[in-house]
Structures are given as structure tokens and as C-alpha cells.
Structure 1
Amino acid sequence: MKILIVDDDPLVGQSLQLLLNKEKDLTVIGNVTNGQEAIDFCKEKTPDLILMDIQMPVLNGIESTKIIKRTYPIIQIMMLTTFKDARNIRLALKAGAEGYLIKSNSIEKMAEQIRALQSGATVLTPDVLQTLMQQGKKGLEQLTDREVEITTLVGEGLSNKEIAKQLYLGEGTIRNVISTILDKLEIRDRTQLAIFYWQKKHNDT
């Protein structure tokens, strides 16, 4: 797998490159220090995966992730950061990142999660999931009763058509309400909304 490392600390980037290159199936093909350099790199070469820091000069990791995923959707992006707050996690997932790792993870764990991401899994380590679960109750407080009701039905697997029929509303109305819910909760899509619902349900039991 060809990897691009994006981190504003050159020492961190060089250390990761040295350690990851020891893995037989991983090859670091680039090492840049901000989001704009990552975008420019992707114009010249196409990595399979980007390890992306969040807080960087010129262009941060979340904004550059949005641009890269819009232009090169085939490239997978794993956020690799010291920030474990729910807001950054949700913004990163909404931007299109398929994974979110904390830098304190061992290189062995990091390599394992990179391979999991390559196989198609969304990679959220237990500490990241715990942060999201703790945020669940607070997140729902932003929603109206109707929005909570629709979130519950999405979580239970109902389609927009089925929700509309059950609530005696138009499908267009349901789409608009779900869009509003996603914006409020800073969630990327209805799949992430369903995950959010079940995390909240689990957290309350």
C-alpha cells in the first residue's frame, strides 16, 4: 500500500515514515507538512492512503480532506492526530475520512488499522468510539422532538419512503429534515447517523 504522510512536525513525519517502511506491505511515498501540500502531491502521484494530521498551517487536515475526497474519492484518508474531542472526530468523518487514530497508538496498532481500512472497514479505535458515545446525549439535545423521532427511525433501518408513510409526511420533507439533522450533529451521512443512534442507545442502557 502506498502511503502519504501529512504532518506539520517534520520529525513526526520522518519517524512515521521510517517505522511504517519496515512493514513489508506498506510503503511511504511522500511526506508533506500541510494540507495544501497534500493536495498538490495528489496531483502528481496517487497514494492509496493518506495519514492526515488535523491542526496544520496553510490548510488544516479537515479542509484538505474535503477537497481530496471530492477530487480523488478513491484515496482513503486516516486522520492521525492528538485531538480526541468529539467535534473534530465528527468533522473529520463528515469531511470523508474513513478512519480516525490517535498518535499515541503503537506503530503495530497503526499498521493493523491501516490494513483494516484498506479492507473496507471504517476505523475508529475504542478510545475514539468512547468519545463519540459520551457525546451522544449532548448531541441529541440539539434536535427537535420530530428530528429525534426521525433519527430513531433511521437508526431502526427505515427508508425515507417508509418514514414518510409512518409519519404522514412527504419524502422531500424527510430528506430535508435528515439533512438538517446531519448538519446539526456534524455527521456525514445516514449510515453515520444510524451508528450515532445505536451508540446513543447503548450509552443509555
Structure 2
Amino acid sequence: MKLKLVVIDDHPLVRQGLILALSSEPSFEIVGEAGTVRQSFEVLQRTRPDIAIVDLRLGDSSGLAIIEEAKLKQSGCKFIILTSSGSERDFLYAEQLEVSGYILKEALPDEIIHAVRIIGQGRKYYDPRILEIKMKGETVLNEELTPREREVLAALGRGLSNRDIASQIYVSENTVKKHVSQILAKLNLGDRTQAALYAYSKGMVRDCL
């Protein structure tokens, strides 16, 4: 039985190149393509693919919006993010959405085909270069954050307010705010929600204050 695939990318040449490469594999069937978020929703609903390969950046939109919507609709489709971004933050968001694959666009066609095969078997595939970035990020976390900042970050991951954190580690709320600001700056995160997701992805939520 062939795997039904959809390719979503806003660059026609990239999209057609992917389709050409994937079509060379006899066990794959390309059932649709799209270049925008709106087109993507229509194609996914109409074709019901097994796997969708989604560009992370779709013009001014994000491919993650497609995955979020599909998850809400309890779609059985598995998603592979294909991107030129090596950002750990982008990978973190995709990981939180439980994507089945994350591949850099510099990957060779054989690597993408291999990834699709693996994901079709119910496993996950993350680009080795992304895993290296993730490991480096964990090293930076350990080296740059102070023990107190790691403690506060773990608390953010548990959803605690500044007041609750202050009460548990016996400091003022202003001190907690300063710690939070330092954490966001060091990890290049936009807000405490992103910090909470980061802490969760690193397994810090299990940490107790």
C-alpha cells in the first residue's frame, strides 16, 4: 500500500523539486500540493494524506499554523517540517506540536525519502544537524544560567506565577521578575510562555523547588 503524500511550500521550484524527488519512490503517491496556508487546509481535507511535508515559512505565515489546525481537527496525518532555519526555537515549537519529522532544506533527496519511509513506519526523524543544535542548546543552558535561574525556569515550566515562585524560594517578587528577565535574555526567548515551553522540552518540569 502506497503512502499518500502532500507537499506544502510557497516556492514553486522547491515544491516541484520535492514532488519530483518523492515521485521516484514507488511506495509513495503524491496526492496534492499547496503554496499557501489556505490552500493547505483545502488540500489536506480533500486528500486525507498519510504524511504532509510542510515548509516552516509560508510567505508571511507559518507552516506550524497548518499543523495546529490539523491537530485540533484530530487529523490522522503525520507532519514533516522542511525548513532552512536551524533555530532551536523553531525546532522547539515544532516539537511541542509533536511533528513526526524536522528536516533542513539542505538535505539530499535520498535523506528526505529515507525520513518519509521511517515516519511511514510510525517512527520519528529529526535532521542530525538539528539534534546537534539542540545538544548545544542544552550545554548553553547548563553553562549560562545560574542555579537560581534554572530553579526559576523549572518553576515557569510548571506554570507558577511570580508570586508563587517568590513564596517557594523565599525571595521578593521583584527578584523573581529580574530572574525571569535574565532567563529570557540568555535563552533569547520572547516571553514567559516560551520559557515555560522551553523548560518543558528540556525535562525541567519534573524538577522540584
Return the TM-score normalized by structure 1: 0.70
- 1:160 is aligned to none
Percent of aligned pairs with the same amino acid = 18
Opposite residue 87 of structure 1, the aligned amino acid is R
- 1:119 is aligned to 121
- Is the CA contact (8 Å cut-off) linking 1:82 and 1:104 kept in structure 2? yes
Structure with the greater alpha carbon radius of gyration: 2
- 2:34 is aligned to 32
Name the Cα RMSD after superposition.
3.1
- 1:186 is aligned to 197
Q: How does 1:1-205 map to 2 (within 5 A)?
A: 1-57=3-59, 59-139=61-141, 141=145, 144-145=150-151, 148=154, 183-184=194-195, 186=197, 192-194=201-203
Task: State the distance in 1 between where 2:134 and 2:107 align.
Answer: 18
CA offset digits 1:109-159 (Å, max 9, x no partner):
1111111112222211210100111112445639542654998xxxxxxxx
Equivalenced residue count is 168
- Please state whether the residue corresponding to 2:61 is helix, strand or coil: coil
Give unmatched runs, 5+ long, in structure 2: 158-191
Task: State the distance in 1 between where 2:56 and 2:86 align.
Answer: 11
Return the TM-score normalized by structure 2: 0.69
* Runs of 4+ more than 3 Å apart: 137-144, 146-151
Task: State the distance in 2 between where 1:193 and 1:75 align.
Answer: 26
Structure 1 residues 85 and 150, CA, compared in 2 at 3 Å: closer, same or farther? closer
